[in-house]
Amino acid sequence: MRGYLANTERVRIQGVEIETTAKIGKRIKLHGNAAWTDAQYVSFVDAPCPLELTGGPAACDVSGTELPGVSRWSASFGGELSQPVDTGPFHGEAYLGAEASRRSSFSSNASSSEFLRVDGYTVMNLRGGFRSDSGWEIFVWARNAFDTEYFEFLSPQPGNSGLVGGQLGDPRTFGVTLKAEF
């Protein structure tokens, strides 16, 4: 179960993002982006208190602290290398591709808590296959290829008893895709 905040007085989100793509010759394509985000409560004087203050005040002033779920840094980079194929019944291109995405740590609670901080992580996706000139394609793929263990969020049990639960990130997944355009 996920909640939402309805009584935050004022927040500010600002940042910078850059994105680029490049094609090197006929066979190499590269892409990447990076973002820096500053997301914080400007004014939130009656916030729920962090887990560390269980049994303490009913409300806390978290003005000037970070918003939940927002990493300060995030980036993704990737590319594809292709090779023309023109042998027998196969006319098209073989390719290998990879993408890596990284995000820095972030708070996963309305009031930042050291116990509800999700560590930064990097996930790598890989693929390789063949695109035919006649409109069909087959490729193998791996998501989270190195089986990185990470949390998408952490959350305290209702009632703030000290129990912390979390949503695990996706495990390594493999597959084969066959597609056709007609």
- Region 45-56 average pLDDT: 85
pLDDT confidence bin for 88, thresholds 50/70/90: confident
pLDDT confidence bin for 1, thresholds 50/70/90: very low
Secondary structure element (H or E) that encloses residue 109, with its range: none
How far is Cα 169 from Cα 182, in angstroms, rounded to an integer?
A: 36
Range 30-56 burial, b when 16+ CB lie within 10 A, else e: eebeebebebbbeebeebbbbbeeeee
Q: Is 133 helix (H, G, I), strand (E, B) or coil?
A: coil
- Region 23-33 average pLDDT: 97
Question: In this predicted model, what pLDDT tens digit does every residue of 93-147 receive, in sequence order?
Answer: 999 999 999 999 999 988 999 999 999 999 999 999 999 999 999 999 999 999 9
Asked if residue 120 belongs to a domain, the reply is yes
- Region 44-53 average pLDDT: 88
Q: Which residues contact 46 (CB under 8 A, 6 or more apart)?
A: 7, 59, 61
Asked if residue 59 belongs to a domain, the reply is no
Asked if residue 81 belongs to a domain, the reply is yes
Asked if residue 44 belongs to a domain, the reply is no
- Which pair of structure tokens corresponds to residue 118? 């999700």
CB atoms closer than 10 angstroms to residue 166: 14
Q: What residues pair up with 131 in beta bridges, in sequence order?
A: 93, 137
User: Residue for token digits 């597959």?
Assistant: 175
Asked if residue 117 belongs to a domain, the reply is yes
| pLDDT computed for residue 181 by the predictor | 86
The helix/strand count (H/E) of the chain reads as 0, 11
- How many folded domains does the chain comprise? 1
pLDDT confidence bin for 51, thresholds 50/70/90: confident
Asked if residue 60 belongs to a domain, the reply is no
Domain residues for 140? Answer: 16-39+66-180
Asked if residue 156 belongs to a domain, the reply is yes
Residue 179 or residue 52, greater confidence: 179
| pLDDT computed for residue 3 by the predictor | 53
| pLDDT computed for residue 12 by the predictor | 96
Asked if residue 51 belongs to a domain, the reply is no
